[in-house]
Amino acid sequence: MELQRGRRKHQRRKQEHYRCGECSTAHCKISYWYIFRNKKLKLPPGPRGLPLIGNLLSLEPNLHVYFANLAEVYGPIVKLQVGSKIFLVVSSTSLTKEVLKDNDAIFANRDAPVAALVASYGGVDIGWSASNSEWRKLRKVFSHEMLSNKSLDLSYGLRRDEMRKTVSDIHRRRIDTPINFGEEVFIIILNMIMGMLWGGTLQAEERSKVGAEFQKVIGELVKLIGRTNVSDVFPALKIFDIQGIEREAKVLCLWLDRIMDSVIDQRVKLNDTDQTCQSKDSKKDFLQLLLELMEQKDPKTQITKTQLKALYLDIVVAGTETTSTTIEWVMTEMMQHPEIMERVQAEIDQVVGTNNTVDESHLSKLHYLDAVVKETFRLHPVAPLLIPHSPSSPCEIGGYIIPKGATVFCNAWAMQRDPESWNESNDPLTFQPERFLDDGDVKKFDYNGKNFSYLPFGSGRRICAGIPLVERMLTYVLASLLHSFDWELPRDTKLDVAETFGIALKKSTPLVVIPTPRIVNLELYM
């Protein structure tokens, strides 16, 4: 009897402790028994679906807009039944804070689509992996070793050389010629990333050829990950691969895998003959660093070849898509607001000068350009619904139960346009970089996910790990292109600002612009 009374007392204390909001992570895991007994807790509201398929047929192409419209009807947390999956969409800053901060550990897992699992070698990367010890180790290696300030400073020469080659090429061959701006920027970012990944291993011509092929394959792979797949919403049908998405993803990833194996083997052979280690530039790329970690016996940092390749794909796919898409949106907004472009160029001229080239050391002084970039991220977040989270156990959010294994979206696109958070008098739907300059608290609008009304890179332990690299590349490329050239639309061309939902929120119509030189000193184009 004493033992039973003790157990009941302990259970009551756990429940009371949970309700007071001061519990540990372990106590936050609500048992199904607790859900059953507490009738106040229930699933969130949402539109009624059809038998078996639920709300699948009612989903609209631009999910971020569709989910925002549902939130106006059903409230800040909405439930949809999509096939056999439960989708939950959170559209308020307070509830997003509950998900990504208060219950961060519970929501740290992912619900990866089939194509993403193929592209991440079964989910052993940073983006799609479950929250476990191997994920923590890989993220630590990525953040502390590869993207440390020291490592990024050492690899700056690779980014600078690529940027100068691009400026020279545009000036020599493409002045007064219409350019697909997004495509051009994608190649710049891809070449920068490839230079940092395996710098001296590939020669310039070979890297350019591999880069062009990478661009095509990555584009097709991203489309596959973003497509609605029957295998994702009806996991029991996965073995049939009805739409062939898994097969297509495997073919693409097999090509990428062969390229990476070839590059890794080539570097290992060079290391064996001490050629790479003697090279001045060998310490500046990430491949040498990761190979050294592979050879180490320290379980805290040692990684496998599969993890190395999965990490490489994360960097290439996420880095190129997010950065090039955002740069295209920045240029689109500046073409729509020429006075903003003039102010940005005037700031760059003042900081850099007209007889000098842009250097990464200048970036911290380009405050207005930084505000323009942040405003672009606000109106056009690259991942409008962030990467979906999946709770490891049932959890209470906003008085509702979030079932274990549900797919949880945080609608950053909607929250970053919310008048309550973004001062209704300044119209949150208009492009106003000044809103990031007027606030006295500069850190309030950084990318670290502490302000839940501004989450372009997410928040919590699954926040984007590549922020330091994206910040450097994005601003550096923009500043260089705006310093070197003026840009205008082709005659009789109307600017299109429509967007298309996907893994990245891209422009529906590519931005085509014409560059003209704006620097008198022609030597700066050499």
The token pair at 185 is: 């920027």
Report the half-sphere exposure of 16 (CA within 13 A, side-chain side): 6
**Mean pLDDT (the chain, rounded):** 85
pLDDT of residue 284: 55
How many of the other CB atoms lie within 10 Å of CB of 161? 14
Q: What is the C-alpha separation between 218 and 503, in angstroms, rounded?
A: 12
pLDDT band at 66 (very low <50, low <70, confident <90, very high): very high
3-state secondary structure of 378: helix
Distance CA 394, CA 417 (A): 30
DSSP assignment of 296-327? ---TTT---HHHHHHHHHHHHHHHHHHHHHHH
Residue 37 corresponds to which tokens in the numbers above? 């007994």
55 in Cβ contact with 66 (< 8 Å): no
Band of pLDDT at residue 41, cut at 50, 70 and 90: low
Q: Which residue has the higher pLDDT, 520 or 10?
A: 520
Nearest to 154 by CA among 288, 308, 302, 309: 288
Q: Which residues are annotated as a binding site for heme?
A: 464
* DSSP labels, 149-206: HHHHHHTHHHHHHHHHHHHHHHHHH-TTS-EEHHHHHHHHHHHHHHHHHHTTTS-HHH
Structure tokens of 409?
């979206």
> Residue 361: what residue type?
S
The one-letter amino acid at 145 = E
β-bridge pairing 389-390 and 109-110: antiparallel
Residue 45 DSSP one-character state: P
What are the residues facing 178 on neighbouring strands? none
Low-confidence winner among 207-216, 489-498, 509-518 (lowest mean pLDDT): 207-216
Residue with tokens 């509702």: 400
Residue 41, φ and ψ in degrees, nearest 5:
-90, 135
Three-class DSSP category at 265 = helix
User: In percent, how much of the chain has pLDDT > 70?
Assistant: 85
pLDDT at residue 277 tops 50: no
| Token output for 412 | 């950053």
The owner of tokens 């429940």 is: 15
Q: Is the pLDDT of residue 186 over 70?
A: yes
Phi and psi based region of residue 405 (left: phi greater than 0; alpha: psi -120 to 50; beta: remaining): left
What burial letters (b/e) apply to 471-481, b meaning 16+ CB within 10 Å? bbbbbbbbbbb
Question: How do residues 350-369 score in pLDDT, each as one tens digit?
Answer: 999 989 999 999 999 999 99
What 3-state DSSP class applies to 328?
helix
The residues near 217 (Cβ < 8 Å, ≥ 6 apart) are 252, 255, 256
79: three-class secondary structure by DSSP: strand
Q: Is 38 left (phi over 0), alpha (psi -120 to 50) or beta?
A: beta
Residue 274 in this model has a pLDDT that exceeds 60:
no
pLDDT tens per residue, range 150-163: 889 988 988 999 89
364-421 pLDDT per residue, tens: 999 999 999 999 999 999 999 999 999 999 999 999 999 999 999 999 999 999 998 8
Binding residues, as ranges, are: 464
The CA-atom distances, in angstroms, between 511 and each of 1, 71, 292 are 75, 32, 42
Compute the average pLDDT of residues 73-93.
96
Please state, in angstroms and as integers, the Cα–Cα distance from residue 255 to each residue in 149, 213, 249, 423, following that order. Answer: 33, 10, 10, 49
Does residue 36 carry a pLDDT above 70?
no
Residue 238 confidence (pLDDT): 93
Residue with tokens 């984007």: 464
Name every residue whose Cβ is closer than 8 Å to that of residue 147 and which is 6 or more positions away in sequence.
465, 466, 468, 469
- Among 88-92, 111-115, 308-312, the range with the most confident prediction by mean pLDDT is 88-92
- Terminal C-alpha separation, the chain: 88
Query: What are 120-137's pLDDT values in tens digits?
Result: 999 999 999 999 999 999
More confident residue, 266 or 236: 236
Q: Which of 60-64, 202-206, 476-480 has the lowest mean pLDDT?
A: 202-206
CB 376 within 8 A of CB 389: no
- In percent, how much of the chain has pLDDT > 90? 58
Q: Are 196 and 159 in contact (CB under 8 A)?
A: yes
50: β partners: 54
Q: Which of 98-107, 302-311, 330-339 has the lowest mean pLDDT?
A: 302-311
Is the pLDDT at 246 greater than 50? The verdict is yes
Residue 276: pLDDT band by 50, 70, 90 thresholds?
Answer: very low
Confidence check: pLDDT of 278 > 90: no
- Rounded CA-CA distance 116/142 in Å is 20
Of 320, 319, 310, residue with least CA distance to 290 = 310
pLDDT for 221 beyond 80: yes
Helices 467-484, 305-336: inter-axial angle, 10-degree rounding: 40
- Order the strands of the 179-180 sheet from edge to edge: 179-180, 512-517, 485-488
CA atoms of 113 and 78, how far apart (whole Å): 21
Instruction: Kindly list the structural domains of the chain, giving each domain's residue range(s) and its CATH number in brackets, ordered by start.
Output: 56-273+282-525 (1.10.630.10)
